[in-house]
Amino acid sequence: MPYQNDWWQTFYSGHYIDFHLEIVNKKKTPDEVDFMLKLLQPPPEAKILDLGCGEGRHAIEMAKRGYQVTGVDVTESLLNTARRTANDQSLNVNFEQRDMRDLPWEATFDLAYCVWGSFGIFDEQGNYDLLSAIYKVLKPGGRILIENHSIETLLLNFQTNFWHPIGDDLLHLEMRNFDHKTSRLESRWMFVHKSTGQIENETMSMRIYTYHELCQLLQSVGFDNCSGYDTVSGAPFTFGAQRLTLIATKL
């Protein structure tokens, strides 16, 4: 399938929202935040930036622990869900709709993170621009955390097709291909109504980096001290890890 540079502007809508909310409801968000904070070691009442925050589950959990959190996402419907959840729990979280590369702050945040497939959605220049924007908004000594697949984790047990039921009437089908020329994971998502046969199609494209490539990219904008971990086990990253969590520091 041909790469569409702006696929992310329309992908996160429609039945994807149903899929997304069903999946995140099964996630152990407090445990994920425990792991992130263990690696990031924030100071008390740190200012934290959540990039691609979606429905806000990590941002809200961070706010529960006393941190000052700003969440950025392009999808207004997910942000509205995040705002309602934060309001229902009397939490003060700043949620803003914007392109992640368009960050108006400078040397404001102690930490920033981009997790669960939010990094790699742009083209080569766009991913570089995102890291440059993050570098600008972090204070000196601030840390960044990126969590996603790497080449080492994705191709170890690569699946080309799989399906997932959503509720009683909706079926999510995903057909995937890894383009070795561009190092992008190209996917076609289909949502099928079992009762009517109605089908909704979307495509996505994620740049997948090796561990080495991602460290080099971070270093090219000024980050250093890269270290990686297996997201699932928490152990230092090595071949055989299931996903990559990488942290680096703004010197």
CATH number for the domain that contains residue 195: 2.20.25
Per the model's pLDDT, the better-predicted residue between 85 and 13 turns out to be 85
Mean pLDDT, residues 52-80 taken together: 94
Query: Among candidates 77, 109, 72, which has minimal Cα distance to 10?
Result: 77
Q: Are residues 59 and 163 in the same domain?
A: no
pLDDT tens figures, 167-206: 888 888 889 999 999 999 999 988 888 888 888 888 889 9
36 pLDDT higher than 90: yes
The residues facing 131 across adjacent strands are none
- The residue-averaged pLDDT of 1-16 equals 69
Please give the tally of structural domains in the chain.
2
Residue 17, token pair as written in the block: 């929202």
| Same domain as 14, residue 95 | yes
pLDDT at 3: 46
Look at residue 2 and tell me if it is in a domain: no
Task: Please indicate, yes or no, whether residues 180 and 233 belong to a single structural domain of this protein.
Answer: no
- The full 3-state SS of 43-83, as one line of letters, equals CCCCEEEEECCCCCHHHHHHHHCCCEEEEEECCHHHHHHHH
- The residue range of the domain holding 222 is 8-153+210-250
Question: What pLDDT is stored for residue 6 in this prediction?
Answer: 80
The predicted pLDDT at position 24 comes to 67
Is residue 23 domain-shared with residue 122, that is, in the same domain? yes
Q: Is 3 within the bounds of a domain? A: no
Residue 13 lies in a domain: yes
